Amino acid sequence: MSIIAFIIPTLNEASTIAAVLQPLQSARMAGHVVVVADGGSDDDTVALAEPYADQVINCAAGRALQMNKGAQAEAAGSVDVLLFLHADTQLPEQGVELVCQAFSDPTVRWGWFDACLGSSDWRLGVIARAMSLRARLTRVCTGDQALFVTRQQFEAVGGFPELPLMEDVAISKALRRSARSVVIRQPVITSGRRWESHGVMRTVWLMWKLRLLYFMGASPDHLARIYYPSYPAQAHASRHGPSETQD
């Protein structure tokens, strides 16, 4: 059976971190590893995470950098599968077993889960299904879909490009060029809080606009200036980078 290191980047996630980490405790009992990479929280995130993690590391803010540092953490150093989980996203009940099963095929090197947005708003259900379909068709997943990858393949592509935005798109494109992927149909559940607070249609428009500009060759710095009102000062201090629903 594969051993998984769950890498969770955080920044001021005191309200959600325990709910994300508690379901992973049975995985820890089975020998898997949980690493929290905190980007300088000024709330109780670190204190709340420590009882539920094998290691909590502190590093500069920036989701891509935090995930790379988490993958390099001592507790994860000898683990052969990395799973990157956002701090407001939960795996399905059999998520660990499904990932291990996926890697029972020696040709599989990376993959992701279908998406579900935790909301009663029917529009978010449609958006989640569209996200899942698009990821299947393009082999480009969002960060909210809990990307998992062998350490060997992760290191072969150089980890996450340390971009202010679109790091999930960039690593997906690198991985799809070099390795076979798999999609787990049981969805991860991601909070719909940002969609609800910023407006569903407004958020959809912004995400598609950013993706289109990125596809057309716009630099991540240019996209960050659109997304973050005070970029560059805010860009690396916020966890809200848009990969579709990234929080």
Residue type, position 171, single letter = I
What's the Cα-to-Cα distance from 43 to each of 13, 122, 136, rounded to whole Å?
Answer: 8, 33, 37
What the block records as the tokens of 223 is 């996209």
Nearest to 98 by CA among 8, 10, 213, 185: 185
Among 11-20, 205-214, 216-225, the range of highest mean pLDDT: 11-20
The domains found in the chain, sorted by start residue, are 4-191 (3.90.550.10)
Separation of alpha carbons 232 and 234, rounded Å: 6
pLDDT at 243 over 80: no
Provide the 10 A C-beta neighbour count for residue 72. 16
Q: What is the mean pLDDT of residues 78-98?
A: 93
Q: What pLDDT digit, counting tens, does each position of 44-74 carry?
A: 999 999 999 999 999 998 889 999 999 999 9
SS3 category, 183: strand
pLDDT at 230 over 70: no
SS3 category, 70: helix
For 153-157, 160-164, 203-207, which range has the lowest pLDDT when averaged over its residues? 203-207
What's the Cα-to-Cα distance from 139 to each of 32, 92, 111, 134, 169, rounded to whole Å?
Answer: 27, 21, 9, 8, 10
pLDDT at residue 124, as a whole number: 76
Among 55-59, 77-81, 211-215, the range of highest mean pLDDT: 55-59
Q: What is the mean pLDDT of residues 19-46?
A: 95
pLDDT at residue 204, as a whole number: 59
Which residues on neighbouring strands pair with residue 112, listed in sequence order? 183
Q: Confidence class of residue 163 from pLDDT cuts 50, 70 and 90?
A: confident
pLDDT at 96 over 70: yes
Q: What is the mean pLDDT of residues 210-219?
A: 64
- Dihedral pair phi/psi, residue 218, rounded to 5°: -65, 145
